[in-house]
């Protein structure tokens, strides 16, 4: 793998070095896991941080099984936060004071355990009370005891009356309502309630690996696995036979068709799922990304997959970088609001703002205009975003000067006609393939240089 990266900025490493250590967790492993969950809700809801950032730190002392439970508990709480808060409001005479915000998180986690995860009520009540004591709020143990007991007794009936739309911020719901109608918006919100399955892209022999991984082959060619197990311990992972990639995320690269012997630029490439697809399909890939840290992950992934020799890595700003000579194709997975990945990252419901898409459209336009300058005559550009926001999709194609739409055909994506618009764009929604677990939301357009 050729590497054209520049030395990374040491400032970020300095900032990480100076980060404050979390408080010592409870000694009891059950309380320790719930305490970690409280800390993670604080990080997301109070500090506005993505869940993956603090997860490793807050769960580093837990056993693997407890780490998995903490992630499930926190993501479940975030998925149903609007409904959970609606239930708690019915059981609280007055809101909990801001200075006791951690106790509010304790109640949210208790509601998720009792009403969704079906944790035995007595266990959820007892651990919530003990955790409140540990959080130095002994004056609220009576309140926590009373509310959690009411959750166990009456919570299910109250939850049944909470509209699923409550889990989606009003501004986001309105955009989906306008783009997909009331029925579509509700199906999207309902899809976000469920943990997504594990999707896998294999280098070869999909049927054989499906049998070994106890997975099914989706119409699109991805494998879908529902059984438990750590990813790194599954057959074939260490040998580089496959990588994790949502079924929808695997579709844009396939729109380039046969890439054997072709040079393809993968813009905003890290962490490398689409780079791996293209390299495994026989292309020489120039993987461009501005983040050295993310490119380090791409390096590791290509090495594990045995694809490093087919990939040239470039650390650069793709709006100004250009290949030495025009290339056969460009795959642009543009930075976006990522609202199509809420199934996997439910914290996005609370972290994204109405202005985010507007702020990103200028960058998307600049990247698409740059892509148009990189390809040969009759070359192909695929523009895609993992977003449900309509303004990040078709309206951006106006920036593709000199490119015309080459419509996507359903047979190219496993016959999923519902995922192809009348204009010939790819548009996947979280409820597509619902009968087998859904998929991420993506928009993609294939464009050809005229």
Would you please indicate which residues are annotated as catalytic (active-site) residues?
386
Going by C-alpha positions, the residue among 303, 278, 289, 226 that lies closest to residue 382 is 278
R_g of the chain computed on alpha carbons: 23
Going by C-alpha positions, the residue among 36, 119, 110, 112 that lies closest to residue 76 is 112
Preceding amide of 271 cis, omega within 30: yes
Host H or E run for residue 201: strand 198-202
Chain-centroid distance, C-alpha 170: 21
Strand partners, 329: 264, 380
Q: How far apart are CA 104 and CA 38, in angstroms?
A: 9
CA-based torsion, 369, 370, 374, 380: positive or negative: negative
DSSP per-residue codes, 121-142: HHHHHHHHHHHHHHTT-GGGHH
Going by C-alpha positions, the residue among 374, 382, 413, 407 that lies closest to residue 256 is 382
Going by C-alpha positions, the residue among 232, 231, 223, 224 that lies closest to residue 203 is 223
Q: How far apart are CA 174 and CA 431, in angstroms?
A: 18
User: Which contacts (CB < 8 Å, 24+ apart) does range 344-347 have?
Assistant: 344/196, 344/246, 344/440, 345/50, 345/51, 345/52, 346/75, 346/78, 346/79, 346/192, 347/44, 347/50, 347/51, 347/78
């Amino acid at each position: 793998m050729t590497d054209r990266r520049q030395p990374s900025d040491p400032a970020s490493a300095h900032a990480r070095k100076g980060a404050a250590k979390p408080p010592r967790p409870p000694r009891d492993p059950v309380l320790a896991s719930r305490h970690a969950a409280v800390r993670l809700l604080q990080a997301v809801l109070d500090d506005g941080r993505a869940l993956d950032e603090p997860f490793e730190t807050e769960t580093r002392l837990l056993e693997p099984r407890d780490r998995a439970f903490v992630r499930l508990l926190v993501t479940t709480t975030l998925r149903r936060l609007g409904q959970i808060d609606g239930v708690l409001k019915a059981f609280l005479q007055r809101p909990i004071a801001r200075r006791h915000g951690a106790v509010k998180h304790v109640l949210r986690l208790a509601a998720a355990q009792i009403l969704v995860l079906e944790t035995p009520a007595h266990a959820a009540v007892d651990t919530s009370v003990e955790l409140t004591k540990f959080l130095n709020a002994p004056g609220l143990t009576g309140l926590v005891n009373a509310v959690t007991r009411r959750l166990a007794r009456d919570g299910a009936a109250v939850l049944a009356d909470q509209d699923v739309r409550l889990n989606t911020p009003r501004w986001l719901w309105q955009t989906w309502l306008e783009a997909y109608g009331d029925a579509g918006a509700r199906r999207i919100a309902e899809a976000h309630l469920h943990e997504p399955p594990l999707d896998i892209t294999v280098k070869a022999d999909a049927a054989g690996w499906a049998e070994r991984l106890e997975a099914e082959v989706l119409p699109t060619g991805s494998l879908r696995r529902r059984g438990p197990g750590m990813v790194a311990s599954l057959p074939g992972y260490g040998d580089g036979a496959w990588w994790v990639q949502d079924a929808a995320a695997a579709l844009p690269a396939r729109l380039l068709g046969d890439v054997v012997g072709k040079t393809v630029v993968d813009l905003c490439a890290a962490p490398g799922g689409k780079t791996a697809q293209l390299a495994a399909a026989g292309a020489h890939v120039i993987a461009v990304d501005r983040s050295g840290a993310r490119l380090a992950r791409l390096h590791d992934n290509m090495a594990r997959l045995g694809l490093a020799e087919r990939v040239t890595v470039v650390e650069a700003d793709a709006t100004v970088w250009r290949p030495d000579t025009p290339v056969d194709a460009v795959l642009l997975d543009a930075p976006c609001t990522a609202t199509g990945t809420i199934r996997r990252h439910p914290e996005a419901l609370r972290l994204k703002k109405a202005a985010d898409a507007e702020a990103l459209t200028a960058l998307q336009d600049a990247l698409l205009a740059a892509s148009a300058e990189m390809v040969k005559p009759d070359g192909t550009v695929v523009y895609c975003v993992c977003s449900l926001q309509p303004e990040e999709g078709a309206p951006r194609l106006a920036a593709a000067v000199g490119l015309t739409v080459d419509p996507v055909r359903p047979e190219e994506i496993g016959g999923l006609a519902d995922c192809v618009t009348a204009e010939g764009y790819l548009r996947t929604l979280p409820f597509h393939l619902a009968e087998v677990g859904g998929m991420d939301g993506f928009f993609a357009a294939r464009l050809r240089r005229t």
